[in-house]
Amino acid sequence: MSTVKKQFYVFGELVEVIVSSKETNGTFCVIRQYSDPGGGPPPHIHSREDEFFTVIDGEFEILNRGIWHPIGKGETAYTLRNNPHTFRNRGASVGCIQATVIPGGLDEYLEELSRLSMPPVIEEVLRTSEPYGVSFIAPTQ
């Protein structure tokens, strides 16, 4: 059974580290994010990581290659590096989505983002994101 290694908030949403990058020597990490209805990260691109998502609780949708794909509890989806993507809670209550990220490092990036002031200053977000190979794009729909 997995246990939570760390918890912190990123852009106001709870993130739990289930398997840290340090535990796997950077091979992968597993995180869970809890999102309110309509919540989720801004559209972005990872230049280094692929992500495999599983909905733990609720209803989400994944933006992948410009198309929104609904995924419900127990369902999965993935996004590949260099591909603009995001996810959002399309349900009526708080939902939980788990991401297995290959290679690891995203947990460390998110923990660093969690230290930024709220509401975040975009310049600080961009400065923090650049060394991790994460960039943001304009939202669609």
Q: Is 127 helix (H, G, I), strand (E, B) or coil?
A: helix
Q: What is the pLDDT of residues 21-42, one digit of tens each?
A: 999 999 999 999 999 999 999 9
pLDDT at 138: 73
Is the per-residue pLDDT at 139 higher than 70?
no
pLDDT at 140: 56
Is the per-residue pLDDT at 86 higher than 90?
yes
pLDDT-derived band at 55, boundaries 50, 70, 90: very high
**What's the rounded Cα separation, in Å, for the pair 31 and 107?**
7
23, 32 Cβ separation under 8 angstroms: no
Residue 58, phi-psi category: left (phi > 0), alpha (psi -120 to 50), beta (remainder): left
Whole-model pTM: value is 0.92
pLDDT-derived band at 63, boundaries 50, 70, 90: very high
Domain map of the chain by residue range? 18-132
Residue 132, phi-psi category: left (phi > 0), alpha (psi -120 to 50), beta (remainder): alpha
Across 104-113, average pLDDT = 97
**What's the rounded Cα separation, in Å, for the pair 84 and 20?**
24
Q: Which CATH superfamily is domain 18-132 in?
A: Jelly Rolls (2.60.120.10)
